[in-house]
Each structure stands twice: as C-alpha cells, then as structure tokens.
Amino acid sequence: MFRQTKRRTAGRRNFEEVSTFAESSKAVYPSRLSFYDLPPLEEITLEEFESWAIDRLKILIEIESCLARSKPLKDIETVVKPLLLKFLPLNPSPSSGSDAQIIAERKKDYYSHYTLRLVFCRTEELRKKFLKNETTLFKIRYNMLQPKEQLEFAKLYSDKLMWEYISNEEKIEIMDSLVAASGPVIRTILSIENSGDANFSLTSEQLRQHIRHKESFIKLPFEKVPNLVSLRQVFLRRGYAYIPSTLQVNLLSVVFSELLSQALLRTFQAIPRLEEDDRLLPLLNNLSRNFASIQYDSFGDPEKASDITASSVTTPQISKHYPLCASHLQNSLVANSHLKYNGRQQLGLFLKGIGLNVDEAMKFWSFQFTKSSKMNMDSFNKEYKYNVRHTYGLEGGRINYKPWDCATILLKPKPQKGEYHGCPYRDLPLELLVDTLGQMGIQDQHDINGIVEDVNKNDYTVACTRVFEITHKQQLQGKNENLHINHPNLYFDRSRQLERNDAKAVGVAK
Ligand code: SF4
C-alpha cells in the first residue's frame, strides 16, 4: 500500500541521519507528561506512523465510550490504565542507567498524538471529539504522576502556566486557613479515590497531615479560578486564591485543552500541503473513517465453538447472548423462512464467528428456508448452497470472510422493505426500538432515555454498549471491565464469557 523505499526529498532528513539525533532526543522528552507543544522532528517508518496511531486510537475509543456513558473520571481511569500499560506505557525516568526504553515510550506517545492531530483536525466535530478525549487522557496521566513529577511538570511549563508555588514558611503560617477552606474537597476526593477500600477513613489530624506533607499549593489571582472561588474550595487572601495539588489538574487541563484547540486549527490549515504526499493521505483517511474502526478480531476459538450447532443457535441458551442486530435478523429468518442477500451475509458471517461450522451452517440455512412449504430442498441447493459455502471460503475466490464489525454494518445500504440487515439502533423506528428494549427487560425510564439519547446523537455503538451494560448489570458488578462494543461478535463473546465466569464461581460446568 505504501512506498517502502527510502525517498530523498528536499528539506527532509532521511533515516540514515536519525541515529545521531535520536541519541540526544532525551532533551525533547524531559517529562513523561506533555503539552505536545513542539512538533516532532525525527523520521519514523510508515508502519510506526500507522501502528502507533492505532494504539492511541484504541485508548481514545475507550475514553469516548466511557464519556458518552457519563462515567466519572475515577471509573474511566480504572478502564484506561490497563490499556495505557499495554498500548502506551510511560514509565518515569530512571535515576541512573540507560533510558533508551523511556525515550522509545515517549517518542511513541508524542508521535501518535501528532498523527491523530492530522487525522482528527479536519472537521469541527472530529476536533471536538479529539479535544475532549485527549484532555481526559491528559487528566488521567497527570493523576498517575508522583507528586514530585507533578511539581517538575509545572516548573517545566512555568512560562505557559505562570504558577507561583507558596513557600513552606507561608504554608505553615496559613495552615489552619488552608485546611478550613480546601480540607473538605480534598477529603471528598481522597474518599472517592479510595472507594475500593472499605476501611478507608480520615481523621481531622490525618487530613491535616496529608495537606501538610502531600499537597503543594499555588497562588493565583482569584479571578483566574472563578469556579473554585464560587464553590468555596480555596482559601482567599489579598486577592490571591490558594489552590492545592488535588485541584490543580483542572487548571492544567484547561491550559492543555486551549493549546490543543489552537494547534488543531493550525494543523487543519496546513493539511492541503499534505496532499502532495501520496503515502500519508490514504492512511489518514483510513484512520479517520470511524472512531470505532478498530476491528474486534478473536474468531476461531475452538473452545467457544463446541456447543454451537444448527439446532442450538435458535435456543435461548445461545441466542440470549446475541446483540440486537443478530437477534433481529435471526428472528426474522425464523418467522419468514427467508432472508435477503445482505441479511444472509450479515447473519451468516456472525454465526460463523460464534463457531458455527460449514456443515452445521448448511443444516441451519436449509432447515430455515425449507421448513415452510415455500421452498424445497432442490431449490435451496440450486439457489443458496453455493452462497453458504462461499461465506466459508469454499467457493469462488476462496476468501475466508470475517464477520462484519459495526462500522461495516453501518456503512451498508439501509434495509428496505422486507430486509432486516443493518443496526437496529439506527434502522428501527424509535417506538419499535423502545418496545424491543422492553422485551429485552429494559423497563427503567432513565435507562431507556439514555439509549434514546445515544440513538438521537447517532452514537449507535454507544447505545449498544449501554444496553450490554444494563442487561449484564449483575455480572459486571464490581468488575470494572467496561469495554466498548464495536463488533456483534464481541458482544456475543463477552456475554458468554461473563456467564462462564459466573458458572465457574458457583462451581457449575456450563
Ligand atoms: Fe449490532 Fe453493532 Fe448495532 Fe450493536 S451497534 S446492534 S453490535 S451493529
């Protein structure tokens, strides 16, 4: 897809020249957190350009999904931290020894951010999404820093922040006032942070000690923090507001967001120049196609296929794990003994993905099509046998087709009269959708309003994820295993996995 040979272009350094620069690049990444205020200068390969951006995108998709479901920052942190460790780790600088690994981590973080700026600068809507998700990521990462690193970070950007830290003497002098003004909000935040610890409690003296030793206060002209002043969360003296570390993340995120917003507009204005580069544009277009374009890809697990047969797929034991698109298709097939082309493809590939092998698929489709007197076996063999075998890569070009993800389903033409493919959150009339949700056991008006709101915002996968969470509420309790549904087979696999976990917990073999 892309030119792999090195190309000499006027004004650009080439790969051979990079090594000398890379050795000194530590100076470019002095902190593991960044405002990304300097554009990257080194060259990277096209594979790195794409794969680093995809890794970052995986994290932003989770954040997007959590924000759409109004998760508090603490819950988002629980979901995102393991992903950060896996896809974008950022370790502190070692006190001594080699820091090659640290430089590599920071470089990936830096470049992936800049690649996604190119991807998401093109429309107002994409810019807003990127800004919101990156700012949340910034807050999560700031909270992961050690207090010493937080101080260093503020010093690093002192020209942008213009923060003045108070001295230890001043802190001791006004300690009572600081505790009285900011103590309650610090206590609340610490309680939320330690909500997993049933024994957590803080006496007044412990709170005072925490403020004394762990909180670094800055003072700013009070008009710069009107929200904190109106909420009475900060001590005011001689025109200055005294802000503890616990509340500084909000100030930093405002600065981060403002800088990024300006940078995205500048990037957008520079985009036409990129059109000269025939390697990058297809890649950027591909990445921006959809925030949910990362495919779920864990098909072919033999364990999950053991009980998937022509007769079992229509039983409640199996079909209760289907997402709405699959159950809508299968119910229509059972009721009408027929499905049109797009419906057969969508359901056929979904069933293949959950483990229905080609022999069982043939039994399933032939039984469903011939069970009424509308069609006999000869006609089925003539008209549809090839189609089923083709789905499994046994005819024609012998391509092993994968089940469609939500993005693919949403890109297909909408179903016409007598067709049932597509995504029901997009395609069903709202009244019918609400009825269907009721049949799935979703009766709570607050839940229904949330789903309808997602649908009205065209956030169909968010609606589907919300339905998954509501219908699996008990199994998900205390697990914090939030994930965004972007594939019907992911919905199915997660649902079955949760059931298996439950069964293991009570010692019942499923
Ligand atoms: Fe199916 Fe995806 Fe729509 Fe859910 S969001 S119903 S999994 S297409």
Residues 165 and 146 in one domain: no
Give DSSP secondary structure letters for 426-483. Answer: HHS-HHHHHHHHHHTT---HHHHHHHHHHHHTT-HHHHHHHHHHHHTHHHHTTT----
Q: Which helix (H) or strand (E) holds 241?
A: strand 240-243
Distance 487 CA to ligand 1 centre (A): 7
Same domain assignment for residues 239 and 101: no
Q: Are both 364 and 352 inside the same structural domain?
A: yes
Domain containing 185 equals 159-247
Rounded to 10 degrees, what is the CA torsion of 56, 60, 62, 63?
140
121 annotated as ligand-binding: no
Domain total for the chain? 3
Q: pTM for the complete prediction?
A: 0.62
- Residues 273, 147 within the same domain: yes
Report the nearest atom of ligand 1 relative to the CA of 491: 7
Domain contains 37: no
Element (H, E) at 388: helix 385-391
Does the residue 171 lie in any domain? yes
Burial string for 317-344 (b: 16+ CB within 10 Å, else e) reads: ebbebbbbbbbbbbebbeebebbeebbb
If you take atom 5 of ligand 1, which residue's CA is the nearest one?
Answer: 461
Domain presence at residue 219: yes
Is the same domain home to 262 and 362? no
CA 332 – CA 91 distance, rounded (Å): 52
Residue 391 alpha carbon to ligand 1 centre in Å:
20
Q: Do 351 and 470 lie in a common domain?
A: yes
Task: Identify which of 330, 351, 423 to mutate to test ligand 1's pocket (most ligand atoms within 8 A of the CB).
Answer: 423
CA 497 / ligand 1 centre spacing (Å): 18
Same domain, 362 and 465: yes
Atom of ligand 1 nearest to the CA of 426: 3
- The residue whose C-alpha atom lies closest to atom 3 belonging to ligand 1 is 423
Given 229, 247, 265, the domain boundary residue is: 247
Q: Is residue 7 part of a domain?
A: no
Nearest to 84 by CA among 64, 63, 104: 63
Tell me: do 115 and 177 sit in the same domain. Answer: no
User: What is the C-alpha to C-alpha distance for residues 356 and 312, in angstroms, rounded to an integer?
Assistant: 10
Task: Tell me, yes or no, whether 74 and 209 share the same domain.
Answer: no
Q: Specify whether 380 is located in the same domain as 451.
A: yes
| 238 lies in the same domain as 380 | no
CATH of the domain at 228: 1.20.930.80
Q: Is 16 part of a structural domain of the chain?
A: no
| Any domain includes 303 | no
In a domain, 41, yes or no: no
Residue 230 structure tokens: 């109106």
Domain for residue 19, yes or no? no
Per-residue pLDDT of the chain (510 residues; tens, 9 = 90+): 334 444 444 334 443 444 444 444 456 678 889 999 888 888 888 889 888 998 898 899 888 878 877 778 888 888 899 889 989 999 887 766 567 888 889 999 999 999 999 888 888 888 998 999 999 999 999 989 887 888 888 888 888 887 888 999 999 999 999 999 999 988 888 887 666 566 778 889 999 999 998 888 999 999 988 888 888 999 999 999 999 988 888 889 988 999 999 999 998 888 776 666 677 777 777 676 555 445 455 554 444 556 899 999 999 999 999 999 999 999 999 999 999 999 999 999 999 999 999 999 999 999 999 999 889 999 999 999 999 999 988 888 777 788 998 988 998 899 999 999 999 999 999 999 999 999 999 999 999 999 999 999 899 999 999 999 999 998 888 666 667 898 999 999 989 988 887 776 766 444
The residue nearest atom 2 of ligand 1, judged by CA position, is 406
Ligand 1 atom 7: residue of nearest CA: 488
**Cα dihedral 100/101/104/105 (nearest 10):** -150
Please check whether residues 449 and 433 belong to one and the same domain.
Answer: yes
